Structure 1
Amino acid sequence: MLLGASLNKLFIGSLFLVIILSCSEKKIYYNFSDHVAPIIFSNCSSCHYKKGPAPFSMMKYSDVAKRAKMVAYVTKSGYMPPWPADANYSHFIGEKILSEDEKMILQEWYNQGCVAGDTSKLTSPLVLSKTKRNIGNPDLVLKMNNAFIIPGNNKDLFMVTKLPFELDSDTNIRLIEFVPDNKQLVHHLNAHLITYDNEKNSHLLDVKPIVNGDIHNDSTAFHQLNIPYEDGTFPKLQPSVSNYLPGVEALLYPDGIGGLRVNKQSALLIKDIHYGPTPIIQTDHSYFNIYFDKNPPTRQIGEFILGTQGISPVIPPLVIPPNQVKKFETETIIPEDISVLTINPHMHLIGKEFKAYAISPIGDSIPLIKIDNWNFRWQYFYTFPKMLHLPAGSLIKVEAIFDNTLNNLDNPHNPPEFVSGKTGSMKTTDEMLQFVVMFLPYQEGDEKISLE
Structure 2
Amino acid sequence: MLVTRLWVALSNKNYVCITIVVCTLLLYACTSSTSNTTPTLPQHPTYASDIAPILIKNCVPCHKKNGAGPFELLNYEQVLKHAKMIREVTRSRYMPPWPADATYSQFLDQKVLSQYDIDVINKWVEQGKPIGNTKLIATNKTIATKALQPDMVLRMKTPYKIMGTNMDSFLIMKFPFEIPEKKYVRYIEFVPDNKRVVHHVNTNLISYFPPMHNSKLMQGNYYQNTLSGNKQQVYERLAIPNDDGTYPQLQISVCNYLPGMEAYKFPDGIGGYVFQKQGMLLVDELHYGPSLKDTTDNSYFNIYFMPNAPKRPTQEITLGTNGKSAVVPPLIIQPNTVSTHSTQIIVNQDVSLLNINPHMHLLGKRFVAYAITPKGDTIPLIKINKWDFRWQYVYTFNHMLKIPKGSTIYAFGTFDNTVHNVLNPFYPPRVVSERNGSMLTTDEMFQLIIMYLPYQKGDENISLKP
Task: Choose which of 251, 264, 271 in structure 1 pairs with 2:284.
Answer: 271
Q: Does 1:75 align with 2:86?
A: no
Query: Counterpart of 1:123 in 2: which secondary structure?
Result: helix
**What is the identity, as a one-letter code, of the residue corresponding to 2:113?**
L
Q: Does 1:258 align with 2:267?
A: no
Cα distance in 2 for residues equivalent to 1:242 and 1:49: 20
Per the alignment, residue 183 of structure 1 pairs with: 195
Q: Does 1:410 align with 2:415?
A: no
Query: Counterpart of 1:352 in 2: which secondary structure?
Result: strand
Give the conservation status (yes or no) of the 8 Å contact 2:178–2:279: yes
Give the conservation status (yes or no) of the 8 Å contact 2:270–2:312: yes
**C-alpha deviation, 1:60, in angstroms:** 5.2
Which runs of no fewer than 5 residues in structure 2 stay unpaired? 1-41
**C-alpha deviation, 1:234, in angstroms:** 1.7
Cα distance in 2 for residues equivalent to 1:404 and 1:305: 24
**C-alpha deviation, 1:140, in angstroms:** 2.6
Cα distance in 2 for residues equivalent to 1:285 and 1:127: 28
**What is the identity, as a one-letter code, of the residue corresponding to 2:176?**
P
Give the conservation status (yes or no) of the 8 Å contact 2:124–2:130: no
Query: Counterpart of 1:192 in 2: which secondary structure?
Result: strand
Cα distance in 2 for residues equivalent to 1:244 and 1:373: 21
1:445 to 1:82, Cα distance in 2 relative to 1, 3 A:
same
Q: Does 1:161 align with 2:189?
A: no
Cα distance in 2 for residues equivalent to 1:36 and 1:333: 46
Cα distance in 1 for residues equivalent to 2:204 and 2:65: 30
Give the conservation status (yes or no) of the 8 Å contact 2:178–2:278: yes
1:67 to 1:165, Cα distance in 2 relative to 1, 3 A:
closer
Cα distance in 2 for residues equivalent to 1:35 and 1:354: 35
Q: Does 1:369 align with 2:377?
A: no
Structure 1, residues 79-132: CA drift from partner, whole Å, max 9, x if none? 21111111110000011111123323444556x4x61324673727549888x5
Q: What percent identity do the matched residue pairs reach? A: 49
The aligned runs of 1:173-322 (5 Å cut-off) are 173-197=185-209, 198-322=211-335
Task: Choose which of 434, 437, 446 in structure 2 pairs with 1:421.
Answer: 434
1:170 to 1:188, Cα distance in 2 relative to 1, 3 A:
same
Task: Choose which of 101, 111, 130 in structure 2 pairs with 1:96.
Answer: 111
Structure 1, residues 209-243: CA drift from partner, whole Å, max 9, x if none? 11111333322211111112345432221111111
Give the conservation status (yes or no) of the 8 Å contact 1:199–1:265: no
1:129 to 1:308, Cα distance in 2 relative to 1, 3 A:
farther
**C-alpha deviation, 1:376, in angstroms:** 0.9
Between 395-404 and 166-175, report the one with greater CA deviation. 166-175
- Give TM-score, length-normalised by structure 2: 0.83
1:423 to 1:107, Cα distance in 2 relative to 1, 3 A:
same
Query: Counterpart of 1:149 in 2: which secondary structure?
Result: strand
1:139 to 1:99, Cα distance in 2 relative to 1, 3 A:
closer
Per the alignment, residue 11 of structure 1 pairs with: none
**C-alpha deviation, 1:66, in angstroms:** 5.6
**C-alpha deviation, 1:249, in angstroms:** 1.8
Between 115-124 and 389-398, report the one with greater CA deviation. 115-124
Between 379-388 and 40-49, report the one with greater CA deviation. 40-49
Query: Counterpart of 2:137 in 1: which secondary structure?
Result: coil
Task: Choose which of 83, 100, 106 in structure 2 pairs with 1:85.
Answer: 100
Cα distance in 1 for residues equivalent to 2:373 and 2:284: 36
Cα distance in 1 for residues equivalent to 2:402 and 2:87: 40
Query: Counterpart of 1:71 in 2: which secondary structure?
Result: helix
Q: Does 1:138 align with 2:150?
A: yes
Between 35-44 and 293-302, report the one with greater CA deviation. 35-44
Per the alignment, residue 123 of structure 1 pairs with: 137
Between 413-422 and 246-255, report the one with greater CA deviation. 413-422
Between 101-110 and 262-271, report the one with greater CA deviation. 101-110
Per the alignment, residue 403 of structure 2 pairs with: 390
Cα distance in 2 for residues equivalent to 1:40 and 1:173: 29
Structure 1, residues 154-191: CA drift from partner, whole Å, max 9, x if none? 22111101222223344433322222222232211111
- Give TM-score, length-normalised by structure 1: 0.86
Give the conservation status (yes or no) of the 8 Å contact 1:61–1:119: no
Give the conservation status (yes or no) of the 8 Å contact 1:32–1:115: no
Between 155-164 and 409-418, report the one with greater CA deviation. 409-418
Query: Counterpart of 2:460 in 1: which secondary structure?
Result: helix
Q: Does 1:323 align with 2:327?
A: no
Give the conservation status (yes or no) of the 8 Å contact 2:214–2:241: no
Which runs of no fewer than 5 residues in structure 1 stay unpaired? 1-26
Cα distance in 1 for residues equivalent to 2:346 and 2:331: 21
Cα distance in 2 for residues equivalent to 1:72 and 1:415: 38
**C-alpha deviation, 1:309, in angstroms:** 0.3
Cα distance in 1 for residues equivalent to 2:85 and 2:314: 42
**What is the identity, as a one-letter code, of the residue corresponding to 1:385?**
N
**C-alpha deviation, 1:438, in angstroms:** 0.3
Cα distance in 2 for residues equivalent to 1:370 and 1:302: 23
Cα distance in 2 for residues equivalent to 1:30 and 1:156: 48
Between 394-403 and 248-257, report the one with greater CA deviation. 248-257
**C-alpha deviation, 1:62, in angstroms:** 5.9
Structure 1, residues 375-404: CA drift from partner, whole Å, max 9, x if none? 111111111110001111110000110011
Between 369-378 and 165-174, report the one with greater CA deviation. 165-174
**What is the identity, as a one-letter code, of the residue corresponding to 1:98?**
L
Give the conservation status (yes or no) of the 8 Å contact 1:177–1:288: yes
